[in-house]
Amino acid sequence: PVPSVSSPPRAPLPPVCPCRMPAQLQHPGYPAGRLQAAEEAVPCREAQAAALLALFGEPEHYSYPSLFLYGHRATGKSHVTLTLLRELQLPHAAVSCVECFSAGLLFEQVLGSLFGHEAVSQSLARYSSFSDFVRVFQQLSARSSLPRHTRYIVLDRAELLRDMDANLLPGFLRLQELVEDNVTVILLSEIVWEKFRPGTGCFEPLVLHFPDYSKAELQLILSQDPSPAYSPELYGTYINILLGVFFTVCRDLRELRHLAALNFPKFCEPLEKGEGNGSVSLSLSKGNPPHLVHSLSFSVTLRVSSASCLSLSGHLSVSSPGLSAHAHVELPCHSKFLLIAAYLASYNPARTDRRFFLKHHGRIKKTNFLKKHEK
Amino acid sequence: MATSSVSKGCFVFKPSSKKRRRTLSIEDYFQNDNIDPETSTLRFQTCQSLWEQMKTEVEVFQEELNKKILDRLLEFARKTTATSRSTADDWASRMRSSEIPTAALVLGVNVPDHDVTLRRLSELLQQSATPFVVSLQSKECSALKQMVQKVLLQLMGCTVSLDEEEEEQPALSEAADLPRKRAHCSLATLCDWYQAVQKKAAVPSPCKSRGSPGDGVGQSPPVVVIFKDFEGFNPRVLQDFIIICSQYIQKLPLTFVFGIATSPITIHHVLPHSVSSLLCIELFQSVPCTEHLAMVIDKLVLTTQFPLKLSGKVLRVLIGIFLYHDFSVRNFIKGLQLALLEHFYNSPLSVLCCKKREALSRAQQLSHENCEGVRRLPSFMRYIENQEPQEQIELLTNDQHLKDVCQRLLRDLHTYHKQYYPVLRCLHTLTATLPKHPLGKQIRELHVTCLERNVWECEEYASALQLLRTPVPKMVLEGRVKRLLIKRCWVVIMVLLTPATDHSCFSVQETLAVFHREDRSAEGECTEEGEDASPRPRLQKKTDLFHLQKTLLEMKESRRTKKLSRFEVLRNEALDFIETLVKYVLFKFALQTSVHCCDDSAERLFFANLASSCLSLKFLCYPLNLPKNDALKSEEGAISNAAPDICIVYKLHLECGRLINLYDWLEAYRTVVAAAEGKDRDGTEAGTFDEEKHARFIRAVSELEFLGFVKNTKQKTDHVARLTWGGC
C-alpha cells in the first residue's frame, strides 16, 4: 500500500525536536544536503533508511540483486524506499502490482519509467514474455546514454507476483544475472518471505523488516502536521489525548491520521467559544473527551471505517438511518419466506426437512432410544 | 440456381428479396380479426394516446420523486470538485485528500427500478456537473481488466463525441485511436489522457467557454464512476480497482457512486477495512418502493384523469405481484400497460374508453354489433332488469334508444367517478388510523374492496364505524376532531367538483355549512365539557329505601345521557352524514365493469408476469388452469393423459418415494400415454412407438431435472433422487 506519510504535501518539519538523534544517514557517495533532506522526510525510520543506503552503495556500484522489505501496513516501507531513491536522484521504476493485471502491463510500466515510454511502445510486443522483457531491457540499456548507475525496480504489493506467471517472481529475483546489467529489484510486501519461496533453485533476496511504530513514534509523526489555525503545542496535546483513546484499538498510522483530522474540529469547539487559551487546553486534556469515545465506539463495534464515520456524524441529525447494523431492509413477502426457510433449514439435516416443515408428515417412528426408555 | 459442381461443396443461397416479408408495424399486430376489425385502428389510436398520457404522467412524477435525492447527489459531486480545488489551503481537506469521495446510494431491493434512477442521475451529472461519467454493471466487469477497459472506453468515447461538436478533426482521430494504439489500457493511460484533456480545456477557446457544460464547474471536473449494482461485483475486482484508483486520486479527481440494493452495511461486507478506509462515504437514501407504488396508484389509478379503470381483480393481481415477488414499480407499470393493451385488443367496446366528450360522440356512432355487445354486458343486463317492461323492450330492440341511454349512462359514470374518489379518500382518512385497520392501511386496499362489492355491506366497514362511534380518551378525540376537519375539506372539494345537477348536492352543501359552524363552537366547548354538565341532584340526607333507589337510578340515567356532550352529538351527526354519503356514492355503478375495466385479463396478466417456481409448480399440478386449456379438465386426482409430457411425468413422480426407479417410471408413463392415444396396441408395434415415447420421456425427465425436482444419484443404478417431498 501507499504509505500514508507520503501522500499529502507536507508542511516543513518543526525545527526543534527533542528526541532528534545525530544524523544517521552518511555516505561518501552522495552529497550531504540530499542525505539530510532524505533523513528529515523519514522520521522514526532513520535506521531502516541507513540500512537501505548501505545496501545501495554508491551510484555506480553494483548492489545486491534483490531486496525484500516487509512490515505491516503503513510502516513506511515504500515511503522510505521511494524517498531515498527520489532524494538521491537514482534511476528507478516504482510499480504497484495491483495495477498490473497482466505481466505485459508490468513490463511496460517498468521499462517505461526506466527508459521512457516512447522507446518501449516501439520495441515491446503486445503479449510479451519474461524473456522478451529481458531482451528489451538489454537493448534499451545498451542504447541509453546515461552513466551506468544502478537502476532500481520497486515492486509494491509483491505478494501479487505469486499469482501471476510462475517464472515472474524467480525471474525478478535474478534479474541482475539475467540482464547482465547493474539493476536491483526491491520487493515490498506485508507478508513474510517464507510465504513467497517458490520452491528450489530460487535466489534468496536480502530480507529487511520494518517494525511497527511505537506509541511515542506515532505521537512524533502525527504531531508533524498541525492545523495552521492553532499552535503546534495544542495540536501535540490533542494527539496525545487521541492516542490515549485509540492506541489500544488501532495502530495504523494512516487510520490514526484520519481520526486525528476527523476529530480535531470537535476538539477545538470549546476553544472556538473562546474562554481562555492555555488553561482551557489543560482542562480539555482531563479525561477522554466524549466525542472521541463516541467515535471509538463507532469504529470498533460496527467496523465502520472512519471515513463513513465522518459522514455519519455529519448526517446523524438529519434523520438518516445511518450505517447501523440493524438497518431495516424491506423485502417482498416470498423472499422473506424463502430467507426464513433457508435459515431454518440450515440448522437441520436434509432428511428431517419433511418432518419439520410439512404439516402432515405421517407418523414419527419410534427410535430405539425411546423404545428403550419406555421399557 | 444450379448446384451442379465437379467437386463436393456447399452452396450458399441468399434468400431472394421478394420472399422477404414485409415488416409489420405495431398497428398491424393490433389487428384482431375475430374482434371487430372496423374499430381496431380507432382502438389502437386511443390505446396509444392513453398510454402516452399515462407514461408522461408517470415520468413527470417520478422526476419529482427523485428530484430531492438527485439534487443532493449533484450537490455532492459539485462539492467534491470544489474541495479538490481548494486542497492547497484547507487543512482539513488536505488531511482527507487521499480518500475517494463516495456516495452510497441505497435504492432498495427493487432492482428493475434502479436503472431509471441511475440513468437519470448520469444524465443530470453530465448536464450540470461533469462530462466524465461512467456507468459500470457487474456483469460487464468480471475481471479487473474488463473493468478498467470499460472505464477507459466510456470516458474516452465520451470526449470523442465532445470533440465532434467542436470540429477538431485531428484531436478526434487521436482520441479515438488512443485505447487501440496502446498495448494495454491502464489507469495511468487514463490519467495522462485526463491531464491532456484538461490542458486542452485550459487553453481559452471562445466557442467552448460558451457552450460546454463542464466549464461552469471549474478547471477539473470529477470523473464519476457509477457502480450500478454494487452487490453484484466481484469483491476481489472491486477492491483492486479501488486500491488502484486511490493511487491516482491526486492526479485524477475520481468520485464513486455505489448503487446499493440492500443496506449500506454491505459495503463493509464486500470491502475489507483496509479498502473501505480509502473511501469517504456519504449515504443517500432513495424513496422506499412502497411509497413509490402508493404514489403510482394515486396518480394512475385513483384519479379521474384517465378513463381506464382497473377492476378489483386486476389490481389485486398487480399489487400481489408487487408485494409478494419483486417490489418493482417498473413491473407494476408494465403490468398496467399490459392490462391496457389487453383491454383495447380484446373488447370492441373499448372505443368508449376515452375522454367524456369523445366517448359521448362515439356512443352515438356505435355499430349494430357493438350495440348487441352492449346488450350482452352483464352490468347492462342488470340495468335492463330493473327497468319497466316497456323500456326493456325498447332497449333490447331499438339501437338508437340504446345509444341515447348509453350516453346518459356514460355521463353518469363520469360524474360517479368524480364523486367516487374524493369520498373514497374521506373514508380512508377516517378509517386509516383506527386500531387494527379494519378497512386497510392503504387507500388501495379500500379501493379494491369498494370495487369488488358494496363497501357498507361488509363487516369491516361496520366494525370501523363502530370504532369511530365509541367514546375514546380525550387525546385521541381531539386528534379526531382535526381529522374530521381534514376530511370535510375533501368533501368540500368534491362538492366543488360536482356539477350541481343533482338536488342532493345542495343538501350536502347545506349540511356542510352547518357542520362547519357547529364544529367551530364545538372545538371551544370541547375543553369546557366538564363544567357544562348540569349539577347533579344531591342525595337527600333522610330518605327511605325506595327514594334512594329512585335517585340512584336517575343519576345513572342522567350520567348516561349526559355523556353525550355537544361534541359527541356533532360527531355522531357527522358520521351519519358520512355514512349516507358513502352509501350514496360508493355503490357499484352499472356499466362500470363493462366499459372501463379490464377484468378477464387478470389471469393472463398473472401468467405473463410470473416466471417463478411457484408458477411452474402450479402449472405442473394443474395444467388445466392454464388459460384456454379447457380440454384438459379431468376429475380430481386423476392424471389427465392429454396433458403435456412433463405434467404426466411430474404427477407420476409424486407417487414415488425418495429414490425413483427410472424403468418403472418409464413404464408408468408409457401406459398413461398409450391410454391417451386411445389404442391399445403396445403389444403389436412396440418398436417405433417405444422409441418415440422413450425420447419424450427422457426429455420430460431432463426438464424436471432442470426445474430442480429430481437429480442424478449414485446411490443406486438407474435411479434418480427426488428433491421434494409430499404429494400423493
Give the Cα separation of A228 and A231 in Å (integer): 7
More confident residue, A36 or B494: A36
CATH code at B703?
A: 1.10.10
Q: For B69-131, where are the E strands, in sequence order?
A: 100-106
Average pLDDT, chain A: 75
From B612, which residue of chain A is nearest by alpha-carbon distance? A334
Which residues in chain A have their CB less than 8 angstroms from residue B614's CB? 334
Range of the structural domain that residue B692 is part of: 622-681+688-722
* C-alpha distance from A201 to closest chain B C-alpha (Å): 31
- The residue among B353, B376, B357, B340 whose CA lies nearest residue B42 is B353
Q: Please compute Rg for chain A using Cα positions.
A: 29
Tens digit of pLDDT for each residue in B512-558?
555 555 555 544 444 333 333 333 334 444 456 666 667 667 766 65
Nearest Cα of chain A lies from the Cα of B188 at a distance, in angstroms, of 9
In the block, cell 484538461 appears at: B198
Locate the chain B residue with the closest alpha carbon to A109.
Answer: B188
Contact B624, B632 (CB under 8 A): yes
Q: Given B287, B319, B341, which residue is the final one in a domain?
A: B287
User: Is B32 part of any domain?
Assistant: yes
- pLDDT-derived band of residue B184, with 50, 70 and 90 as boundaries? low
Q: Which fold has domain A32-209?
A: Rossmann fold (3.40.50)
Count of structural domains within chain B: 2
Nearest CA in chain A to B244: A99
Three-state DSSP at A186 gives strand
Q: Which of B287, B312, B338 is the last residue of a domain?
A: B287
Mutation for testing the A interface, residue in B266, B267, B281 having most A CBs under 10 Å: B281
List pLDDT tens digits, range B281-329. Answer: 888 888 888 888 888 888 888 877 887 777 777 788 888 888 887 788 8
Distance CA B147, CA B225 (A): 11
Contacts of B639 (CB under 8 A, 6+ apart): B648, B651, B652, B672
Does B209 lie at the interface with A, CB-CB under 8 angstroms? no
* Residue B23's pLDDT band (cuts 50, 70, 90): low
ipTM: 0.78
Q: How far apart are CA A220 and CA A40, in angstroms?
A: 13
Partner residue facing B97 (CB), from A8, A228, A335: A8
pLDDT in tens, A145-161: 777 788 899 999 888 88
pLDDT at B51 over 80: yes
**pLDDT above 90 coverage of chain B, percent:** 1
What angle (nearest 5°) sits at the alpha carbon of residue A145, between those of residues A140 and A149?
A: 85
CB-based contact, B327 to chain A, within 8 Å: yes
Q: Mean pLDDT throughout B367-383?
A: 76
**Could you give the C-alpha distances from A283 to A44, A226, A239, A278, A309, in angstroms and in order?**
31, 20, 15, 9, 26
A354 touching B, CB under 8 A?
Answer: yes
pLDDT of A337 above 70: yes
Q: Which residue has the higher pLDDT, B185 or B65?
A: B65
What's residue A188's pLDDT? 92
* Best CA proximity match to B130, nearest among B76, B192, B72: B76
Banded model confidence at residue A4, pLDDT cuts 50, 70, 90 = very low
What is the average pLDDT score of chain B?
A: 70
How many CB contacts within 8 angstroms connect chain A with chain B? 149
Could you tell me if B143 lies within 8 Å of chain A, comparing CB atoms? yes
List B255's β-bridge partners, or say none.
B224
For the stretch B59-73, what's the b/e string if a residue is b when 16 or more beta carbons lie within 10 angstroms of its beta carbon? eebbeebbeebbeeb
Torsion from C-alpha of B399, B400, B403, B407, nearest 10 degrees: -160
Q: B397-416: per-residue pLDDT in tens?
A: 888 888 887 777 777 777 77
Contacts of residue B695, defined as CB under 8 A and 6 or more positions apart, other chains included, come to: none
Q: Which of B525, B531, B495, B532 is nearest to B511 (CA)?
A: B495
| Contact list, A227 vs chain B (CB under 8 Å) | 91-92
- Predicted local distance difference test score (pLDDT) of residue B88: 45
Q: Are B238 and B270 in contact (CB under 8 A)?
A: yes
Higher pLDDT, B52 or A228: B52
Looking at residue A69, its pLDDT comes to: 92
Average pLDDT for residues B659-675, to the nearest whole number? Answer: 87
- Kindly list the residues from chain B whose CB atom is less than 8 angstroms away from the CB atom of residue A1: 243, 274
C-alpha cell, B178: 488512443
Residue-wise DSSP of A84-103 = HHHHTT--EEEEETTT-SSH
- Residue whose C-alpha is closest to residue B359's, from B596, B135, B173: B596
3-state DSSP call for residue B568?
helix
Query: Which range in A56-60, A84-88, B20-24, B649-653 is most confidently predicted, on average pLDDT?
Result: A84-88
Q: What is the pLDDT of residue A68?
A: 92
- pLDDT at site A293: 62
Which grid cell is B63? Answer: 422526476
The residues near B516 (Cβ < 8 Å, ≥ 6 apart) are: B488
Q: What are phi and psi of B489, to 5 degrees?
A: -55, -45
More confident of the two residues B243 and B613: B243
- Give B110 or B174, the one with higher predicted confidence: B110
Find where cell 477507459 sits: B152
Question: Residue B21's pLDDT band (boundaries 50, 70, 90)?
Answer: low
What's the pLDDT score for residue B574? Answer: 57
Residue of B104, B246, B728, B235 lying closest to A360 (CA atoms): B728
Least confident piece of the model among A223-237, B65-79, B487-501: B487-501
Within an 8 Å CB–CB cutoff, is residue B277 touching chain A? Answer: yes
pLDDT band for position A200 (50/70/90)? confident
Residue B43, pLDDT > 70, answer yes
**CA dist., res. A184 & res. A175, Å (int):** 8
Q: Which of A8, A315, A327 minimises the CB distance to B98?
A: A8
Instruction: Read off the pLDDT band of B567 (50, 70, 90).
Output: low
Of B278, B285, B324, the CB nearest to A321: B285
Residue A33 has pLDDT above 50, yes or no: yes
pLDDT (0 to 100) of residue B538: 41
Contact assessment for residue B586 and residue B454, using Cβ atoms and an 8 Å cutoff: yes
More confident residue, A1 or B640: B640
> pLDDT tens-digit profile of B235-282?
989 998 998 888 888 888 888 999 888 887 888 888 887 787 788 788
Q: Is residue B596 part of a domain?
A: no
User: Is the confidence at residue A326, as pLDDT, over 50?
Assistant: no
Please report the residues numbered 220 through 259 in chain A whose beta carbons come closer than 8 angstroms to any beta carbon of chain B.
225, 227-229, 254-255, 257-258
* Stretch(es) of chain A classified as CATH 3.40.50.300: 32-209
Share of chain B above pLDDT 70, in %: 58
Which has more pLDDT, B579 or A270?
A270
Please list every residue in chain A whose beta carbon sits closer than 8 Å to the beta carbon of residue B263.
327-329
- Would you say B298 and B62 are in contact if contact means Cβ atoms under 8 Å apart? no
Q: Is B174 part of a structural domain of the chain?
A: no
Neighbours of A279 (CB within 10 A): 9
604-623 of B, contacting A, C-beta below 8 A: 612, 614
* Chain A hits for B91, Cβ within 8 Å: 227-229
B42: domain CATH number is 3.40.50
pLDDT of residue A138: 87
Sheet holding B659-661, edge to edge: B659-661, B719-722, B710-712
- To the nearest 10°, the Cα dihedral for B354, B357, B363, B365? -110
Gap between the Cα atoms of B142 and B251, Å rounded: 27
Q: Is residue B695 part of a domain?
A: yes
pLDDT for residue A187: 92
pLDDT of residue B210: 37
| Global pTM exceeds 0.80 | no
Exposure on the CB side of residue B364, measured as CA atoms within 13 A: 5
